[in-house]
Each structure stands twice: as structure tokens, then as C-alpha cells.
């Protein structure tokens, strides 16, 4: 505060000089003749009027403030960098997501005498390498909350044929969701399902077709199984 007052005092003197159109010499004489106590103690007229750096008594204080601001900015930058590292550590820098579909070559899948995992073998995305297309199986590479979706499309060849399928999403051999169709009214139909699952590392998720059922008339990119990590477990 003392430094600011001193600075304002000097500017006031300079302002008076301009208004009175006096010379620098006059201003210098007035400053030297000043008898009152200066808020910032004394100042060096010789230095001040030569415009040399550091003459004002506020210079030291201002330099200290500048140094403190610089140190605090550097500390803030370091803290932000550490925060970014912590966030990357929490999410593991790992993207976990996959999308796979049945091959167009599979015109009819089923029926079988036992439940059979659906072969979603056309993989278009597999971040984190959690999905195994040979088995149609997703294995969680890390614990967290995951979203899974699957769709079922089927088409019968003739009028009056039975549309008969049932797919179910399985987690560690436990059924968590299913979709089905069983009628003779539709020659073509589809359905889908989405669920959220909390998984531990190593948990397995897949879609299976129930025994005695079938999916026919497969169109590439219609029968799909996909999933992704929403957020990891802390």
C-alpha cells in the first residue's frame, strides 16, 4: 500500500507539471524542496529524473509480488499436471469397447440340441481386446460398469412358417436379459436389448441362442453384439 501511495504521489507531481507547463527542472526543484514526509519515505531525485529502473521505493515490493505470482503460477501448473496424471491413472488410459456382427455367410444359425453362443465374428471395433470373435465371448479386462447391447433379426422363407428364436445375454453362465419371438404371423422381425452390468476383471459375457431355436435370413450388420466401459471401478 505504501508503494502504491508513493507511485500515485509521483504521478500527481508529474500531472501538475504538465498542467502548469513547467520544466523538468522546476519539477525537480519542487520535489527536492518538499518538506513533508513522503508515504514511501525518501526517493532519489537524481535517479528518478534519469528514468532509471528501481528508483521508486515500490520497485522492490513490486518485484517481490511478481516473484510470488510466478511461483504460485508454477505451483498451479504442477498441480494441474498431477491432476491430469491422476485422471489418466483412474481411467487407466484404456478404452474398452467392442462391436461385432454375424457374418453374412451365416444364412441360418440353428437349431441346435443345446444352447449355443452366437458367432458374432465380424469385428468392427475391439478397443482393449476384450472380445474374442472365435468364441463370441467378451472378457472384462478391468472392473467397472459396462453397457451391453444385442439385436436379433430373423426372416422365414415362406408364409405361415414359424418365427421362432430366443437370444439371451449371459454373464458368467447366469442369464441377465433375453429377447424372443414365437409366432406364425410375421415373416420378418427384429428385436434388441440393452443392459448395464457391473463386472469384475475376468468376468465373461456372451449372447447365446436357446436350443431348438434359429435365426435365419441374416443380413450383414443386423445381428449385432456390442459393449463398452462406462466408468472403471475405483
| Cβ-proximal residues to 41 (8 Å cutoff; 6+ apart), any chain | 57
24 grid coordinates:
523538468
Q: Which residues contact residue 165 at a Cβ distance below 8 angstroms, ignoring those fewer than 6 apart?
A: 110, 152, 154, 180, 181, 209, 213, 214, 215
Does residue 78 have a pLDDT over 70? Answer: yes
What pLDDT score was predicted for residue 187? 72
Cβ–Cβ < 8 Å for 1, 38? no
Greatest mean pLDDT range, 39-43, 97-101, 151-155? 97-101
Q: Ranked by mean pLDDT, which of 9-23, 85-99, 194-208 comes out on top? A: 194-208
pTM over 0.85: no
Q: Above 60 in pLDDT, residue 5?
A: no
Instruction: Decide: 117 and 207 in contact? Cβ < 8 Å.
Output: yes
Q: Give the pLDDT band of residue 77 (cuts 50, 70, 90).
A: confident
Q: Answer for the pair 109, 208: CB distance below 8 angstroms, yes or no.
A: no
| Per-residue model confidence as pLDDT tens digits over 172-224 | 999 999 998 887 777 788 889 999 999 999 999 999 999 999 888 777 778 99
Q: Which range in 4-13, 45-54, 85-94, 113-122 is most confidently predicted, on average pLDDT?
A: 113-122
Distance CA 118, CA 210 (A): 10
Domain ranges (residues) in the chain: 2-91, 97-232
In 172-223, DSSP assigns E strands to 174-183, 188-199, 204-209, 215-216
Outline where the chain has alpha helix (H).
2-20, 24-33, 45-49, 59-91
pLDDT beyond 50 at 120: yes
Spatial separation of the C-alpha atoms in residues 232 and 234, rounded to whole Å: 6
156-172: per-residue pLDDT in tens? 877 667 778 899 999 99
The answer to whether 47 and 28 have CB atoms below 8 angstroms apart is no
Q: Give domain 97-232's CATH number out of 2.60.120.40, 2.30.30.100, 2.20.25.90, 3.60.60.10.
A: 2.60.120.40
Amino acid at each position: 500500500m505504501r508503494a502504491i501511495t508513493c507511485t500515485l504521489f509521483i504521478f500527481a507531481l508529474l500531472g501538475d507539471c504538465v498542467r502548469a507547463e513547467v520544466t523538468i527542472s522546476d519539477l525537480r526543484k519542487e520535489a527536492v524542496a518538499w518538506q513533508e514526509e513522503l508515504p514511501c519515505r525518501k526517493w532519489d531525485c537524481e535517479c528518478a529524473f534519469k528514468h532509471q529502473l528501481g528508483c521508486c521505493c515500490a520497485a522492490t515490493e513490486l518485484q517481490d509480488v511478481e516473484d510470488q505470482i510466478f511461483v504460485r503460477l508454477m505451483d498451479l501448473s504442477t498441480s494441474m499436471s498431477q491432476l491430469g496424471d491422476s485422471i489418466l491413472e483412474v481411467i487407466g488410459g484404456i478404452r474398452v469397447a467392442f462391436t461385432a456382427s454375424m457374418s453374412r455367410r451365416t444364412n441360418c444359425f440353428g437349431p441346435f440340441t443345446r444352447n449355443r453362443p452366437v458367432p458374432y465374428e465380424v469385428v468392427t471395433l475391439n478397443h482393449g481386446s476384450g472380445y474374442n470373435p472365435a468364441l463370441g465371448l467378451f472378457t472384462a479386462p478391468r472392473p467397472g460398469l459396462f453397457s451391453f447391447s444385442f439385436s436379433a433379426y430373423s426372416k422365414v422363407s415362406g408364409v405361415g412358417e414359424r418365427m421362432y428364436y430366443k437370444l439371451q445375454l449371459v454373464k458368467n453362465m447366469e442369464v441377465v436379459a433375453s429377447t424372443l419371438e414365437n409366432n406364425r404371423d410375421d415373416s420378418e422381425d427384429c428385436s434388441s436389448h440393452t443392459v448395464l452390468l457391473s463386472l469384475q476383471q475376468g468376468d465373461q459375457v456372451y449372447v447365446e441362442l436357446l436350443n431348438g431355436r434359429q435365426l435365419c435370413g441374416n443380413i450383414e450388420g443386423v445381428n449385432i453384439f456390442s459393449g463398452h466401459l462406462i466408468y472403471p471401478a475405483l
